[in-house]
Amino acid sequence: MIDGVEIIKSYLKNLGTNPGVYRMLDKDENVLYVGKAKNLTNRVKSYTNLRGLSHRIAKMVSLTRSMEFVTTHTEVEALLLEANLIKRYKPQYNILLRDDKSFPYILIDTSHKSPQVLKHRGAKKRKGYYFGPFASVSAVNASLNILQKAFTLRTCSDSIFNSRSRPCLLYQIKRCSAPCVGKISDEEYDALVEEAHNFLSGKSDAIKGRFTKRMEQASNDKQYELAAVYRDRLKALAAVQSRQDATNGRLEEADVIAAFKDGGQTCIQVFFYRGGQNWGNKAYFPRHDKEQHIDEILPAFISQFYDNKPPPKKILINSSIKQKSLLEEALAIKAERRVKITMPQRGSNLLLMEMVEKNAREALERKVAETSSQAKLLQGVADLFDLEAPPTRIEVYDNSHISGTSALGAMIVAGPEGFEKGSYRKFNIKSEDLAPGDDFGMMREVMTRRFKRQLKEDPDRSAPTWPDLLLIDGGLGQLNAVLGVLEDLGLTDIPVVSIAKGPDRNAGREDFYQPDKSPFKLPPNNPVLYFLQRLRDESHRFVIGSHRNRRAKKIHKSLLDGLPGVGAVRKKALLLHFGSAKAVSGAAIPDLEKVNGISRALATQIYDYFHP
């Protein structure tokens, strides 16, 4: 403790009074904590007063061996930088938002004369209108389903659109207006696109009014099939409104965020409202110390949550928070407009907040129940395999290949909170000495690469990334292959178990192998067996999915990939001129020269590439 305080004091001599961000590092230069300050000197000085420190902060100070600083112009800049650095370094002593993936959007892609509507995630590089964020892919799919029914916009890719000679099944079931084969004029299709845009922008009532008038007009004109089309569209729009909660107060653009804390854990529930519609919700369980209260957990969550996504105009919360105005100012900089954080006190917004808070409470209760159940299963694993304590990190390994080709190894990780998908790893098998389909050799390569790197990064074995149990998919041969690698690396204390499929690959009849023990089976109704099967099945799912993706990339790889001096534009020009990559590979130099952008020298290079 005294060493830590003295180290912190040493930085005060040359530290200014500017706002900024500081990092506290341990002896291995791992980031312990990231903080921001309006006055760096005053903030850092507070860590030297031991009487005013909580137990958690005192422990952090005792581990501190160096500090790093970044000064900023304003405290708002410091807040934005702090959120970014917390997400990058994931410090042990910060409140940390976990599982913060980017959210999906709906995109109306206007780069084509007949715009396409599709799911989108990631950078907004394509030309068009983006609507979101949606809480999940399922929420996007539900809205896309409504859009198909109500507005019959195309969802196919441009390549499929351009190759159609007759309408697809979606046209037959009235989910697409088939602009690809001229079943609708460009003007009529553009009108549908505009109506879909207005619907996603929150103008559903006006669209319903127009559809109702058109249905009545078609019915009066005895155009009953057309009237039925508008009737079905009205049903689709009504389905959207029926899904909206009556208490949402017609929020045009807002996120409703409620935190509920119990037993040292917190659930934060986020509901997304855009255009007066509920676009889904998601529960988060941020990592924090048990002593910390909602008024400091919630602002830390909000600053990290909006670090990689645009904040809405309104954010409704269920608790008063520290430095609310500072957070509003920081979010306004990101959004380039005003952002208001409010705590509802009455009316429909208060009713909505109570509903969201109830969802947070119930999600936390489910999480606690699942964690308790998981703890019992891990204790069962420890008892079954004679481990010293319930494992906090189980690594499961599996391999996949087809007749030895596209060989791939994979590792999944599970612990007290379930599957840790951020820790999953793939291993492309690189060894050229392996015989095709040599499962034992593949397993040796995977294990060697995994643990050589682990030893290099953490020779003291102090990091939490060391496994308490290795579960290997396979029998005695795979077990011996793994044990041989671990023995060569001096890691003989890591428990290893292999799980072999039963006769006829029947689930429930698996054999378990451990070093120096006879293989054994578990009773078919044993809950620990179900748990181990679930781990094994998850490793299958991950390795097979990864293997399929790898094969798909190989299948779709063009002969033109890797051509020297040929980028996307020239590749397209070659394909348009010759019709296929195979034709390019067989072309003569004079023919290659005729392609726009291909010089004599480049034509020679291309020819030499295919005719070494």
Enter the pTM of the model. 0.67
| Cβ-based neighbours of 537, under 8 Å, separated by 6 or more | none
349: Cα separation from own chain's centroid: 30
How open is the CA angle 377-382-384, to the nearest 5 degrees? 90
555's tokens? 């299948």
Which pairs count as long-range contacts for 330-337, CB under 8 Å and 24+ apart, including other chains? Answer: 330/76, 330/79, 330/80, 330/303, 331/302, 331/306, 333/76, 333/80, 334/80, 334/306, 334/310, 335/310, 335/311, 337/313
What are phi and psi for residue 149, nearest 5 degrees?
A: -70, -40
Q: CB-based burial of residue 535 (10 Å sphere; 0-12 exposed, 13-18 middle, 19+ buried)?
A: buried
CA distance 71 to 37: 9
| pLDDT reported for residue 348 | 86
Q: How many residues does the chain have?
A: 612
Q: CB-based burial of residue 361 (10 Å sphere; 0-12 exposed, 13-18 middle, 19+ buried)?
A: middle
Q: How far is CA 552 from CA 402, 475, 489, 555, in A?
A: 13, 30, 36, 5
CA distance 148 to 162: 20
CB 15, CB 43: distance < 8 Å: no
CA distance 178 to 146: 17
504-526 in b/e burial notation, b at 16+ Cβ within 10 A?
eeeeeebbbbbeeeeeeebeeee
398's tokens? 């599996």
| Half-sphere exposure for 94 (CA within 13 Å, toward CB) | 28
CA distance 586 to 598: 16
What are phi and psi for residue 389, nearest 5 degrees?
A: -155, 165
| pLDDT reported for residue 175 | 85
CA distance 353 to 239: 24
Beta strand pairing call for 253-262 and 314-317: parallel
Domains of the chain: 2-89 (3.40.1440.10), 105-243 (no CATH), 253-365 (3.30.420.10), 394-554 (3.30.420.340), 568-610 (1.10.150.20)
Output DSSP code: residue 468: S
Rg of the chain (C-alpha set): 30
CA distance 219 to 227: 6
Q: Is the backbone of residue 520 left (phi > 0), alpha (psi -120 to 50) or beta?
A: beta
CB 95, CB 301: distance < 8 Å: yes
CA distance 69 to 23: 6
| pLDDT reported for residue 246 | 43
Name which of 269, 296, 301, 274 is nearest 284 in CA terms. Answer: 269
Per the DSSP assignment, residues forming a β-bridge with 267 are 260
Taking residue 421's Cβ as centre, other Cβ atoms within 10 Å add up to 12
CA distance 439 to 146: 48
What average pLDDT values come out for the chain (612 residues) when binned by 10 residues? 88 89 92 94 90 86 93 92 91 84 86 90 87 81 80 87 88 88 91 86 74 83 79 68 51 90 91 83 90 91 89 93 91 91 90 92 88 89 92 92 70 91 88 76 91 89 90 92 92 92 68 91 88 91 77 60 78 81 84 88 86 74
CB 259, CB 301: distance < 8 Å: yes
Output DSSP code: residue 96: B
CA distance 572 to 583: 13
Name which of 554, 572, 560, 557 is nearest 606 in CA terms. Answer: 560
